[in-house]
Amino acid sequence: MTARRYLITGGTSGIGRAVARHLTASGHRVWITGTRTETVDAALAEGAGVGGSACDIADPAAVAAAFADAVTALGGIDGVFVNAGIDGQGVEAEKLDPELMRRLFDVNVVGVLNCAQQAHTHLDRPGVIVVNASVNALRPELHFADYNASKAAALSVARSLALEWSAGGIAVIAVCPGYFPSRMTNPFLSDPEVAPGLLAQIPAGRFGHDQDIGALLEFLLGPDSHYLTGAAIPIDGGRNV
């Protein structure tokens, strides 16, 4: 195996941290971002990578600085997992706060573009961008109209970039995870009244494991995934069916 160099946004918790730890344990060099220096340092202490940057992906200048840090530390970047995102309000559509929804789109959609543009500048060719679009991009979830729409938009951004950039040596792939343990999902997955209803929607009968998502992202970010450019790959135990 040839060690590769990766940048993972939102690498301090949940899916991002699971993928970062998996890649690091597999011998790759990983740079992570998180919203606060404290959470970045804590994730690094747990084996999530060789370094990291505090970064709000909705801020183009902060994203540019994080990529510059990664390129300097790693000597280049082979792949980027655009994973950072925030959750929806979890209310009926008629109760949605438009200002909160704008912030959601700033992070989950504009943030994807900010990271992808920096990846386009800095990725060694051939390179890979994987966007976390969530299974909600494929199958909307009740009372999450804001989050569903933001992830559908993130998927559309990923596919649009695949159209534009694939011929130039950058594969752009969307991954659509279902329920995995994270700061965002743990209140639902650990709730004895809520969890059974969620499991009933999953043909596999269980929530995702860190190994599931780590192994998939190791392949997608690797050198053999380029013909998957433009794909939206669900990893959700069948929830999207």
- Domain boundaries of the chain, sorted by first residue: 5-235
Task: Report the pLDDT value the prediction gives residue 241, as an integer from 0 to 100.
Answer: 86
Task: Report angle CA 34, 156, 96 to the nearest 5 degrees.
Answer: 70
**pLDDT tens digits, one per residue of 191-209:** 788 889 889 989 999 999 9
Task: Report the pLDDT value the prediction gives residue 191, as an integer from 0 to 100.
Answer: 78
**pLDDT tens digits, one per residue of 9-58:** 999 999 999 999 999 999 999 999 999 999 999 999 999 999 999 999 99
Q: Cite the beta strand spans of the chain per DSSP E.
A: 5-8, 29-34, 51-54, 77-82, 123-132, 170-177, 232-235
When the candidates are 3.40.50.10860, 3.40.50.720, 1.10.10.1200, 1.10.10.10, the CATH number that belongs to 5-235 is 3.40.50.720
Which alpha helices (DSSP H) does the chain contain, by range?
14-25, 37-45, 60-74, 98-105, 111-122, 145-165, 186-189, 195-199, 210-220
Q: Please give the Cα distance from 14 to 19 (Å, whole number).
A: 9
Six-digit token string for 151: 């992830």
Residue positions counted in the chain: 241
Q: Output the pTM of the full model.
A: 0.95
- pLDDT band of residue 186 (cuts 50, 70, 90) is confident
Task: Report the pLDDT value the prediction gives residue 187, as an integer from 0 to 100.
Answer: 80
**pLDDT tens digits, one per residue of 57-99:** 999 999 999 999 999 999 999 999 999 999 999 999 999 999 9
- pLDDT band of residue 1 (cuts 50, 70, 90) is low
